[in-house]
A and B are shown apart, each in its own frame.
Chain A
Amino acid sequence: MGVALEIVAGFLGAGKTTVINQMLKSYLANGHKVLVIQGERGEKNIDQQAYQNTGRLVVKTAKVKDLDPLQLVRWLEEHKPDNLIIENNGMEELEPLLKKLEQRPLRKYCRLQRIISLVKAGTFNLYAANIGRLFGEPLSKADMVILTATEGLPAKDLRQIQKEILKFNGDAAFLLLPSAAKAEKQFPEESFSAGGKRGLFSTADPLVSFALLYAILLVFGFIVTLRVFDYARGELYLARAQIFITIFVSILLQAFPFIMIGVLVSAAIQVFVPQQFFSRLFSRNVVFSTAIAVMAGIFFPVCDCAIIPVMRRLVQKGVPLSAALTFMLAAPIVDPVVVASTAYAFPDKPFIALYRLSLGVFIAIIAGLIMRIIPYKGEILKGGAVFSACSCGYCSQADSTRADPHPFTARIKGMINHATAEFFQVGQFLVLAAVFSTYIQTSISPATVAFFAGSPVGALLTMMGFAFILSICSTSDAFIARNFIHQFPLTSILGFMVFGAFLDIKNLLLLSGNFAGRFVVHLVLLIVTVSFIVLSLSGKMLFF
């Protein structure tokens, strides 16, 4: 099986040596033989004296950057250790080391057990803000994060730091090391071999997935059992389940291709568009950047579900939030197919398509301007704004191949890997939204809950609400809206089509999967308010 390898990563003074000493104590006490590759001479030294007479500790000094995989193989053959500990300096990313470890023949000799990332509590905010990328990479890959030198720090600050780390890497075990002197007490043998206490996410994750499997089995178990006792009813339920699954799968089949386009564009932007491109493009005046945002919508005419991954990437790449918002709202409305389908759904009222287009663009511009005038101060992207780095785990793979002789192919690979990771990240919310939408479509009859159809304001609000739960895709919204022409005035029908393209169940879930919770609330309130005001005013001014 090979030697059990552990990587200890952290900046100078983060406490790597202290932790390694603690690990050594535990392994050597169990009779293991250990090889340590020490990268740098820190303030402290590895406790060689204590174990010299056992002959079971070998310490070599080599910077990871210069570490020759063949040399490492020779050391492993010569000393035949049970454990290998490699120290990785914080100024180096982990990715090159992992690449070396994957090379033959080294790959056969050792097996990566875990990555331990150390962070000195007092330096966290400074490093995160200034060298986010370099700092975030080892953290995002870690199995265990140890926050060191926490003694004397206010509990509030510690919680804040822990929250930031959890957002970035919810899987890692999290440990506190108050000071080097307390290392002994903090790391008893057992806590280390057990891997420490894991983050909440890694506990919840398997539980949730188990619950999902269990729920599905329960439903079908129930139907099958029912069918044994009451054949007719069992068959009826089975038929209903089949209808439900058909609609569910149809939503996935229709939306996955558009999500795919969205994540490909997003990945292409990430890998191929230089960071300065967007900041230069949007640095000019407000009219210019708004115009670009609306035009971009015309040149990127895809369904609303493709737009969210792209918007996230644009914000990450430094596009001003106001322009990104205008783009996100305008794109599904200015899509020529959407305009055509609206005209076709309302054949005797061609102006409806025109109103939908112009009102939609108007609301997109107003919402963008408000975002510009009153900027949002908090965190925008999910996963913490502190790290400008992407936590997908593939970015650094793509970037560290810059020296590759074939940078283009490496970039294509980086782009595909990126798109794959994002497809799963975004797609899971689509699956959830599809389940919910199917339920709504098959069981709730909106015609029977039209309480407020009487007053124009009530009707508009009701239709905006329906748009949120009933919209599937901006192309077909117009045909769904047609259903309501018996009960609702035309302004509220228009409200359905405009608002439905902005926000629906699917979009909300996609947004909350990509952006920070508070920001999503802020965004939704902004879109709802602006849409409602513009739409209700338009009802008084437009001529039908």
Chain B
Amino acid sequence: MNTKTTVLGQTYQFRDLKEVFAKANEDKSGDQLAGLAAADSRERVAAKQVLADLTLADIRNNPMVPAEEDEVSRVIEEGINEKIYSEIKNWSVAELREYILSHQAGDNELKRISRGLSSEMIAATAKLMSNLDLITAASKIKVVTHANTVIGQKGVLASRVQPNHPSDNVQGIKASLYEGLSYGIGDAVIGINPVIDTADSVKDILNMTKDVMTKFDIPTQNCVLAHVSTQMRAIRNGAPADLIFQSLAGSEKGNNAFGIDVALLDEADELMRKEGTSYGPNFWYFETGQGSELSSEAHHGMDQVTMEARCYGLARKYNPFIVNTVVGFIGPEYLYDSRQVIRAGLEDHYMGKMHGLPMGCDVCYTNHMKVDQNDMDNLGILLSSAGVNFVIGVAMADDVMLNYQSTSFHDIAAFREVMGLRPAPDFEKWLEKMGIMENGRLTAKAGDPTIFM
């Protein structure tokens, strides 16, 4: 395995794969914080050059986090289709990138090759792609999933309505929910981040959302994003959960910091098979985000793009209904400014889709980042053009519980209108029935939350 190259007259010798992978990344504050980033643009290019010439077998034969030490590595390793892998193992990363971007590789071909790739190989291609490469490649992959309803079709931009409330007041949650529905938002999921992480509280919110869904015959799914074990207790107590949620990290240690492991996810999966309330077969909702492993010192000396890809390697074991990266939430020490957030959003979406996942994105930022709403407009449009499965809808983008800004109900309506995209088909029919949408456009009634009162 060659880890040496010359760029502009200077020779670079990299220590190992981890160093090549990290230094090949576009500039991120998180890789700097971890002490892994390239010193300058020249070293970055050198690392990209070395990475381009590595073979897929080089990557697989030199595991950066050995399977013996980490269960996420084991899940990724066990998921690889040996037949497909053996066809491509001698390809260089450069060749894999070119195949992915070629006209010969369409939706089917990319889904097939995905099964022969490890998360690290997919991350490697992302490091050799420009933003437009990431959009081009991702836009070819359609991941259609089914819980109560179907989302992910070509031409569909679905949305999560996120009606959070600072004290989990059920009426308050309902108020934002009505507002969101009246803008045509909520076809992916009605999803609430609770303040109070108890089974009773989770059950109350699941019951309320289910009641609203039943009363108005809304074709969607409900979910409360408490810790998975809390949701499990609520479900065992009879709470109606269409989806079950959990945040994922790209290493066993990172997942332990979230209070989970593969055994717990398996147990939750089994419980949902027996007691979940949606049709399925997809009933998981996962969230990820670059930098979370470093924040729990669980990154094994690896860069945040590769760790993020490993989250997707774990997620695909469970055939989720939706996955999203909370790209701008983790903080400026991981993604400092709009340039880094936009890059990460496109990387995460591409890497998720290359894993065959129904990728969405929380296009978002916190107030201590060098980012504002204009940057979210940009990333939202870029992801819409890349075929993102869903984005997050918050009243005027301002989440009054989590204290950060995402995309608004208005923004999602605008993404759809500008990009010629539609809500999920079942949901659009329902919007027409309610008089909120006509021929893919909002009607004069849209934006009045009292139509649900």
Q: Do A and B come from one complex?
A: no
Chain B: residues with CB nearer than 8 A to chain A? none
